Amino acid sequence: MSETDKPETVLLAHGSGGSLSHELVAGRVLFRISTEATPTLDDSAVVEMHGCIAFTTDSYIVDPLFFPGGDIGRLAVCGTVNDLSMVGAIPRHLSLALILEEGFPLQSLDAVMRSVGDTCREAGVDIITGDTKVVNRGKGDGLFINTAGIGLVPDGRHISGKLARPGDRILVSGSLAEHGLAIMAAREGLAFSSAIRSDCAPLNGIVGALLEAMGDAVHCMRDPTRGGLGTTLNELASQSRVAMLIDESAIPVRPDVRAACEMLGLDPMYVANEGKFIAIVEPSRAEAALRALRVHPLGKNAVDIGEVVAGRPGRVMMRTHLGPTRLVAMLSGELLPRIC
Ligand code: MG
């Protein structure tokens, strides 16, 4: 093939394992995602790690692939970095698997790989192994990504959704519902789409700062992604066999986001986030935890939204603006498909 007929889109042969596959990986992927530890291209990556290891995986099928505030590449790194961070692990190494559809523009692949590399460098993680497959035209939807990640859990650190105790305070690191709304707006071509950006961000930096300041006063952490805050609090309350009481007036939602949610008939309590987390902490240390969160750029708007209480296990109640409390149920059904 001469220089002039270089393909501009993904061909089935890019997934053959032959020369075009090698060209794709070497010429379009590796140098864009490279960090200190470049993949060796052996059948497995070999790394030295001592101690307790956290391991997670997630697949990304977001539609559209590019949206205000991010793209599928940034999401695929942040999602896995954040899941490792939520158990107190220090994210280290990721895998990156691409499922490409025949006909997908190579320029778009370049943009996504650039974003993967930039986000890895921002989060301080390396991609050390990966895979590329190509499916026939019409059998995929452009690009799907899977990332898995491993991180080191420091000695003695124990953070789990099972560890909330009555009296604990429930903190949220910032304003909610921006990721889901940005995707929805981009998908529907809505006029406010430029103003509302996804909050997609790696949380390992802010979590590290919080844990350094708080030690074992942090009992649980979780990022309210699919299903939003409402669903995630229900999960934590069930797992810890406790009840929760939160204040509607304390729940941080930007006025423009709230207005857009109202217009679209969405409850911000159930809209996905990709750069926020819930921390459930020892009551006597809640103020200190808020201070530690607020000094970090991703935690400027951190707030205390309520408390863990003794009560029917798994029940989440909310004190409303008008005074009475109401039940916060888990999201049933699908609010927004293909959000991450
Ligand atoms: Mg998570």
- Cα of first residue to Cα of last residue in the chain, in angstroms, is 37
Cross-sheet strand order for the sheet of 90-101: 52-60, 143-153, 90-101, 126-135
169-172 and 303-309 beta bridge pairing:
antiparallel
State which CATH number among 3.40.50.720, 3.30.70.330, 3.90.650.10, 3.40.50.300 fits the domain covering 169-327.
Answer: 3.90.650.10
CA of 232 to the centre of ligand 1 (A): 9
CA of 244 to the centre of ligand 1 (A): 20
CA of 54 to the centre of ligand 1 (A): 13
CA of 155 to the centre of ligand 1 (A): 22
CA of 178 to the centre of ligand 1 (A): 16
Mean of per-residue pLDDT scores for the chain: 94
CA of 228 to the centre of ligand 1 (A): 11
DSSP string, 66-133: EETTEEHHHHHHHHHHHHHHTTT-EEEEEEEEEEEETT-BHHHHHHHHHHHHHHHHHHT-EEEEEEEE
Q: What is the pLDDT of residue 3?
A: 47
pLDDT band at 1 (very low <50, low <70, confident <90, very high): very low
This prediction has a pTM of 0.95
3-153 has CATH 1.10.10.350 classification: no
Reduce the DSSP state of residue 208 to 3 states and report it. Answer: helix
251: burial class by Cβ within 10 Å (0-12, 13-18, 19+)? buried
For the stretch 88-114, pLDDT in tens is 999 999 999 999 999 999 999 999 999
Residue 92 to residue 70: CA distance in whole angstroms: 22
Q: What is the pLDDT of residue 194?
A: 61
CA of 122 to the centre of ligand 1 (A): 19
CA of 11 to the centre of ligand 1 (A): 34
CA of 229 to the centre of ligand 1 (A): 12
Lowest model confidence (mean pLDDT) among 27-31, 86-90, 126-130? 27-31
Q: What is the pLDDT of residue 192?
A: 65
Q: What is the pLDDT of residue 322?
A: 87
CA of 2 to the centre of ligand 1 (A): 47
For the stretch 28-79, pLDDT in tens is 999 899 887 767 778 899 998 899 999 999 999 999 999 999 999 999 999 9
CA of 9 to the centre of ligand 1 (A): 33
Q: What is the pLDDT of residue 119?
A: 98
pLDDT band at 208 (very low <50, low <70, confident <90, very high): very high
- Which sequence spans correspond to the domains of the chain? 3-153, 169-327
CA of 107 to the centre of ligand 1 (A): 30
Residue 122 to residue 124: CA distance in whole angstroms: 6
In the predicted structure, residue 2 carries a pLDDT above the cut 80: no
Common-topology check for domains 3-153 and 169-327: no
The answer to whether the CB of 55 falls within 8 A of the CB of 47 is no
CA of 252 to the centre of ligand 1 (A): 19
Total Cβ atoms within 10 A of residue 162:
14
In the predicted structure, residue 300 carries a pLDDT above the cut 80: yes
The residue length of the chain stands at: 340
Helix axis angle, 178-188 relative to 255-264, nearest 10°? 50
In the predicted structure, residue 5 carries a pLDDT above the cut 80: no
Kindly state the tokens that stand for 284: 């006597």
CA of 276 to the centre of ligand 1 (A): 10
Residue 52 to residue 50: CA distance in whole angstroms: 7
Q: Which of these, 88, 340, 90, 86, lies nearest to 236 by C-alpha position?
A: 86
CA of 223 to the centre of ligand 1 (A): 5
In the predicted structure, residue 167 carries a pLDDT above the cut 50: yes
Residue 324 to residue 248: CA distance in whole angstroms: 11
pLDDT band at 165 (very low <50, low <70, confident <90, very high): very high
CA of 224 to the centre of ligand 1 (A): 7
Q: C-alpha distances in angstroms, 162 versus 85, 112, 221, 229, 256?
A: 16, 36, 10, 17, 35
Q: What is the pLDDT of residue 37?
A: 72
